[in-house]
């Protein structure tokens, strides 16, 4: 079985959760949407891969409080250079997920700052959502910045597009495997839970009502419209978690966008690919 061809949600969801969702879908799409909402806000936990352990062991680690969201997060400071790059992981990722990129940046005179988002990795909590990532980024700029550039994977890329549009002061931005539409994200989630598209629509509506705005305002291309700095958008054509059409939609709205498409790396393996990493570092060094 090639795990890169299976969406991470479908790969990690326990079978009892799938069975419960399907039963609720049959009995009541409304109840199924509330069940799905709980699952949507709950990141998956997994053991740290060996490739991330060196970064973890050699980072300065500190648990800090983000007052605006009343949550604690683990922050990793890797290296000692005053030239800092902010790294932002995706959903169910951790602050060491971009370790191979961080290692290459260290070799080129940069240090990195990263974090476990609320309810991820070593940060406490069970559930979180995109605005928590965004508030954390703004907070870290004040406490651990300034940053020369930022690199984000998946939801981390969407968070960085939003924060860059609204004031994150960086010179370069790199996003990898980033989704464009929140509606598409909720549709894919429902599909991976084997729920109906009616449940997907109810799920999106629930989040809009809960947070008091249309969450599509956070979509990648919407944020991209306000970004004036050079931005590299990297996406794999065989990404089964986020279709690469998102990259085209985002880069079309960027003032100084650069699109890099890869093949056969999927959504996760792309972060450790030597050629991709060299492309990222060269872009930051330009």
For the domain covering 49-181+219-285, report its CATH number: 3.40.50.1820
Cβ-based neighbours of 131, under 8 Å, separated by 6 or more: 69, 211, 218
What pLDDT sits at residue 27?
81
Question: What's phi and psi for 16, nearest 5 deg?
Answer: -55, -35
- Rounded CA-CA distance 117/115 in Å is 6
Angle separating helix axes 197-211 and 182-192, nearest 10 degrees? 130
By mean pLDDT, which of 41-45, 96-100, 108-112, 244-248 is the weakest? 41-45
Give the pLDDT band of residue 5 (cuts 50, 70, 90).
low
Q: Which of 95-99, 150-154, 212-216, 252-256 has the lowest mean pLDDT?
A: 212-216
Categorize the per-residue pLDDT at 125 as very low, low, confident or very high, splitting at 50, 70 and 90: very high
% of residues, the chain, pLDDT over 70: 94
pLDDT tens sequence across 51-73: 999 999 999 999 999 999 999 99
In tens, the pLDDT along 216-253 reads 888 999 999 989 999 999 999 999 889 999 999 999 99
Mean pLDDT of the 201-224 span: 90
User: Can you give the C-alpha Rg of the chain in angstroms?
Assistant: 18
Preceding peptide of 113 cis, ω within 30°: no
In angstroms, rounded to a whole number, what is the distance separating the alpha carbons of residues 149 and 164? 10
Model confidence, pTM: 0.91
Higher pLDDT, 154 or 15: 154
How many H helices and E strands in the chain?
12, 8
Helices 197-211, 29-40: crossing angle, 10 deg rounding: 60
The predicted model gives 192-215 an average pLDDT of: 88
Q: Which helix (H) or strand (E) holds 77?
A: strand 71-78
Question: In 3-state terms, what secondary structure has residue 115?
Answer: strand
Residue whose pair of structure tokens reads 């970064």 in the numeric block: 55
Instruction: Supply 61's token pair.
Output: 């680690």
Q: Check residue 252 and give its pLDDT.
A: 96
Residues 42-47 have a mean pLDDT of 84
Given this model, what pLDDT does residue 1 score?
A: 44
Domain boundaries, the chain: 1-40+186-211, 49-181+219-285
Residue 32, pLDDT above cutoff 90:
no
CA distance 100 to 89: 13
Answer whether 228's CB lies under 8 Å from 256's CB: yes
Looking from the CA of 209 toward its CB, the CA atoms found within 13 Å total 8
């Amino acid at each position: 079985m090639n795990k890169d061809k299976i969406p991470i949600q479908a790969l990690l969801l326990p079978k009892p959760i799938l069975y419960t969702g399907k039963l609720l879908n049959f009995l009541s799409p409304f109840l199924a949407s509330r069940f799905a909402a709980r699952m949507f806000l709950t990141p998956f936990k997994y053991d740290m891969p060996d490739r991330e352990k060196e970064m973890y062991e050699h980072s300065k680690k500190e648990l800090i409080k983000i007052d605006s969201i009343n949550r604690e997060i683990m922050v990793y400071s890797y290296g000692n250079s005053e030239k800092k790059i902010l790294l932002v992981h995706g959903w169910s990722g951790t602050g060491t997920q971009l370790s191979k990129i961080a290692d290459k940046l260290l070799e080129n005179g940069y240090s990195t700052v990263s974090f476990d988002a609320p309810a991820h990795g070593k940060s406490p909590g069970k559930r979180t959502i995109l605005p928590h990532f965004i508030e954390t980024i703004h907070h870290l700029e004040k406490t651990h910045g300034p940053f020369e550039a930022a690199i984000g994977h998946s939801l981390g890329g969407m968070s960085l597009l939003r924060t860059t549009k609204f004031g994150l002061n960086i010179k370069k931005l790199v996003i990898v495997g980033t989704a464009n539409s929140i509606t598409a994200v909720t549709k894919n989630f429902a599909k991976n839970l084997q729920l109906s598209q009616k449940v997907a629509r109810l799920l999106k509506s629930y989040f809009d009502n809960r947070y008091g705005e249309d969450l599509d305002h956070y979509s990648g291309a919407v944020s991209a419209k306000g970004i004036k700095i050079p931005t590299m958008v990297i996406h794999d054509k065989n990404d089964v978690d986020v279709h690469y059409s998102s990259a085209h939609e985002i880069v079309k709205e960027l003032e100084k966008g650069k699109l890099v498409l890869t093949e056969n790396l999927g959504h996760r393996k792309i972060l450790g690919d030597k050629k991709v990493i060299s492309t990222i570092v060269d872009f930051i060094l330009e």
